[in-house]
Structure 1
Amino acid sequence: MSRLRVGLLSNPTAALGTARRVGRQVGDLLRLAGISVVDLSGPSAHVARARAEEVRDTLTALVVVGGDGTVALGAEIVAGSPVRLGIVPAGSGNDLARALGLPLNDPEESTRILLHALSRPVVTVDAIEVVSTGEHALPHRSIALGNVNLGFDALVNARANSSQHSHTVRYKTAVLRELPAFKPFPYWIEVDGGPRQELDASIVTISNSGIFGGGMRIAPQARLDDSSLELITLEGIGRAELLRFFPRVFRGTHTSVPGFAIRPVREVTIGLRHGRALRAYSDGEARTLLPLTARILPGAVRLLADLTPEDAS
């Protein structure tokens, strides 16, 4: 193992600074196991990305320590390359880690999994490519592994990100604060190159992992390795029904709600017919304004983990 070189990228702000401490611990454990570790962490995502991209081709793996946004950053850096992505959950939501069945708040077990995976065959997962498609949009491309949120869930994500409470508390609080003034968005949508359709929906999510919002299994049958995305929509419900919808997602009883639908897709282009501007969120981070195109990138990311059907669904 002494020939293996691993990059370590910790988010200094994730979980109120906990990720930085966890990153140091993981780095020490990897070195004790004989791994050559180079710390690529920086004061910002921009700096960390630049450091990682500079040495990426010399790495066996890139290990990211943080939440879903940090995982997405790591995926952008390694997507399409031979470098494998290792994940140590140390954020607030950790939804991608939940989808993979990775241990939360356990740096020692996380490191053991990384070391075990380094000696195992390569596992690949799909990614979501998100591209700005507006007439006057600046070129913008990002990668997500979990979800792209485009409706009420995006507004909640934006508000929750500004809170200092725990993820569960701030997500619930954000739902309650966004709800009184919310109205369904008037979308247009093109699926897999088909004709343009119109829909007025409260929730539109493009999902790869099936989990968002700190453990809500919005698409219970979603898999990370099936070369398909799930287009999730919720139409035709009022504010009171929308408030009752989210607890049902935690219980797994939401799929029978009238107006809720899931369908497999490979590419979706979506925008608003009129009204307010809407910014998409993916894996917890603000992305481009609508309109945008999201498409599947099959097997784009090599992972340092064992992917079983139970983990991927």
Structure 2
Amino acid sequence: MSRLRIGLLANPTAALGTAHRVGRQVRHLLRLAGISVVDLSGPSAQVARARALEVRETLTALVVVGGDGTVALGAEIVADTPVRLGIVPAGSGNDFARALGLPLNDAEECVRILLHALSRPVVAIDAIEIVGTGEHALPHRSVALGNVNLGFDALVNARANSAGRVHTLRYTTALLRELPAFTPFPYWLEVDGGERIELDATMVTLANSGIFGGGMRVAPEARLDDGSLELVTLEKIGRAELLRFFPRVFRGTHTSVDGFGIRPVREISIGLRHGRALRSYADGEPRALLPITARLLPGAVRLLADVSEGDYP
């Protein structure tokens, strides 16, 4: 029996139970390869997190089976540790798997990639730590790998999560339903410790992979390993222009739109000057209410992936 020990964490509810079935298949394939597998899946993220933290120091890798939220949970568990993170996409969106170029709906190929990666050099990627303040603080460390959504995109994400459709379709439907009543948010921002600025914007996104919403490439040049995040903002755009904007994001041709801006950052603090409460979303899941601070964690997550330099964004 191999000395390697892999933790397996499958989301029992992702993609209407598909991840649970794929998780059983992955466990079987890893054990056939002689790998010691400990199943850490639980009925909730809290239970799975607690189980994984109890045995984390004994693991070579943690393999997560599910969508972007499950990948983020895995990142929270392994960030800043030697434990490598393996990904088998089995959710509804799978945007982070797309960013890595991982095969979708092919558990056998994913396991082959994981097994091959065990003998390959470690690939380290950046992550994002999200910190709420005061009453908005979360009870556990909050880490994202893909993006933090802080504007209209967060509202759409919240509505899409409540719909039972295919991911891309439900995201588009949620967008159309949020649009009629939307007005820009009055933000304040502090970027990399600089002075506070005020900004009225439709969209504010902090991007690491730059892909969300079932394939939208909001930050086409974003890279996972460059020691920098991309602060994406969209200002001075009306509802009609916004409706035309989002289809262009799927093609990555939106960067020339008036009011669109993108800049490299390492840390932002952001809140609203007045108005309603706004919850941040990251990797498809709800996080802390604004105000928050989001900061770069350079090279914090060691991937179990068969990729070489230049193979991923």
1:163 maps to 2:163:
yes
Alignment of 1:209-248 (within 5 A): 209-248=209-248
Q: CA separation in 2, counterparts of 1:43 and 1:30? A: 22
Q: What is residue 281 of structure 1 aligned with on the other side?
A: 281
User: Which residue is 2:127 aligned to?
Assistant: 127
**RMSD of aligned Cα (Å):** 1.1
Residue 264 (structure 1) aligned with residue 294 (structure 2): no
In 2, the alpha carbon distance for the partners of 1:188 and 1:84 equals 37
Alpha-carbon displacement from aligned partner over 1:1-53 (angstroms, at most 9, x marks no partner) = 71100000000000000000000001110011110001110111111111111
Aligned to 2:87, what secondary structure does the other structure show?
A: strand
d(CA) in 1 for partners of 2:127, 2:259: 27
How far does residue 252 in structure 1 lie from its aligned partner after superposition? 1.7
CA distance in 2, matches of 1:306, 1:264: 27
For structure 1, which runs of at least 5 residues remain unmatched after alignment?
none
Shift of residue 236, structure 1, vs aligned partner: 0.2
Question: Does the 8 A contact of 2:136 with 2:290 survive in 1?
Answer: no
**SS across alignment from 1:256:** coil
Whether 1:137 and 2:120 are equivalent positions in the alignment is: no
Given the alignment of the two structures, is residue 59 of structure 1 paired with residue 59 of structure 2, yes or no?
yes
Partner residue of 2:80? 80
Runs of 4+ in 1 over 6 A off after TM superposition: none
Describe the SS at the equivalent of 2:255: helix
Aligned residues: 312
User: 1:174-195 CA deviation, whole Å, 9 max, x = no partner?
Assistant: 0000000000000000100111
Mapped to 2, the partners of 1:307 and 1:233 lie a distance apart of 31
Query: Does residue 291 of the first structure (1) align with residue 291 of the second (2)?
Result: yes
Instruction: Give distance in 1, aligned partners of 2:189 and 2:307.
Output: 32
Could you tell me how far apart the structure 2 residues matched to 1:259 and 1:62 are? 41
Amino acid across the alignment from 2:87: I
Deviation at 1:309, TM superposition (A): 5.2
- Cα deviation for residue 56 of structure 1 reads 0.6
TM-score, structure 2 length as denominator?
0.98
Mapped partners of 2:218, 2:233: distance in 1: 10
Write the distance in 2 (CA, Å) between the matches of 1:67 and 1:89. 6
Q: Give the corresponding residue for 2:8.
A: 8
What CA distance in whole angstroms lies between the structure 1 residues aligned with 2:262 and 2:289?
A: 23
What is the percent sequence identity of the aligned residues? Answer: 80
Give the equivalent residue in structure 2 for 1:49.
Answer: 49
Compute the displacement of 1:308 (Å): 4.0
Are 1:300 and 2:300 matched, yes or no?
A: yes
For the residues of structure 1 that align with 2:15 and 2:138, how far apart are their CA atoms? Answer: 31
Cα distance in structure 2, aligned partners of 1:101 and 1:139? 31
Q: Deviations over 1:206-238 (max 9, x none)?
A: 010010111111101100001100000000000
Q: Is the 8 Å Cα contact of residues 9 and 40 (structure 1) preserved in structure 2?
A: yes
Counterpart of 1:206 in structure 2 is: 206
Whether contact under 8 Å (2:64, 2:88) holds in the other structure is yes
Distance 2:24 2:307 in 1: 26
* Residue in structure 1 matched with residue 111 of structure 2 by the alignment: 111
Q: Is the Cα contact below 8 Å between 2:228 and 2:264 reproduced in 1?
A: yes
Per-residue deviation, 1:137: 3.3
Measure the CA separation in 1 of the matches of 2:48 and 2:32. Answer: 24
Q: For 1:148 and 1:250, how far apart are their aligned partners in 2?
A: 18
Contact 1:209 1:312 (8 Å CA) reproduced: no
Question: Gapped runs of 5+ residues in structure 2?
Answer: none
Closer/same/farther in 2, CA of residues 244 and 308 from structure 1, 3 Å limit: farther
Q: Name the CA distance, whole Å, in 2 between partners of 1:38 and 1:153.
A: 37
Q: 1:119-155, CA deviations, whole angstroms, 9 ceiling, x for partnerless residues?
A: 111110110000013x543455400000000000000
CA displacement 1:59-86 (0-9 Å, x = unmatched): 0000000000000000000111110000
Q: For 2:15, what is the secondary structure of its paired residue?
A: helix
